[in-house]
């Protein structure tokens, strides 16, 4: 599933010949076993005295809406794996930081974000998913 309620413009510059391509990217759900139907979140984790690493985790549509409503994605520097609506992307699909302004006002995702009770504690499944990316809420 492609979440077209969120759209981010991305410019890719080829390392070979410097050609610039502009893509309109959207979050998409994974098709693999355990993460089937979930969105991939990516985060850079800095560990003292060690090399920085990327951690990823997968969340459902509702969990993604909750993370936006609570400001967790911005607070902890998460990016969302994206892909173009039409055509193919020439290399590994990029992960982009998505600001709330990139969400289409009045869309189903925007309404899901608005319905979240930000004072309610996150579910155990969501807290577990975030622990995979070294985040505790």
Please tell me the predicted confidence (pLDDT) of residue 28.
92
Widest distance between CA atoms in the chain: 51
* Total domains in the fold of the chain: 1
* Boundaries of domain holding 123: 8-131
In a domain, 113, yes or no: yes
Q: Is the distance from CB of 52 to CB of 44 less than 8 angstroms? A: yes
In a domain, 14, yes or no: yes
Per-residue pLDDT of 69-118, as tens digits, reads 999 999 999 999 999 988 788 888 899 999 888 999 999 999 999 999 99
Q: Is the distance from CB of 136 to CB of 129 less than 8 angstroms? A: no
pTM of model > 0.95: no
Residue in this structure with the two tokens 């076993």, named with its chain if needed: 33
- Report the DSSP beta bridge partners of residue 12: 21
């Amino acid at each position: 599933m492609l979440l077209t309620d969120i759209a981010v413009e991305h410019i890719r510059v080829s390392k070979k010949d410097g050609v610039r391509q502009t893509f309109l990217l959207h979050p998409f759900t994974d098709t693999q076993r355990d993460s089937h139907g979930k969105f991939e979140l990516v985060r850079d984790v800095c560990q003292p005295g060690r090399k920085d690493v990327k951690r990823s985790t997968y969340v459902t549509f509702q969990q993604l809406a909750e993370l936006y409503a609570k400001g967790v994605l911005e607070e902890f520097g998460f990016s969302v794996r994206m892909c173009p609506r039409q055509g193919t992307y020439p290399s590994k699909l990029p992960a982009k930081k998505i600001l709330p302004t990139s969400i289409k006002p009045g869309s189903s995702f925007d309404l899901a974000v608005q319905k979240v009770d930000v004072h309610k504690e996150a579910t155990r499944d969501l807290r577990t998913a975030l622990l995979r990316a070294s985040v505790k809420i």
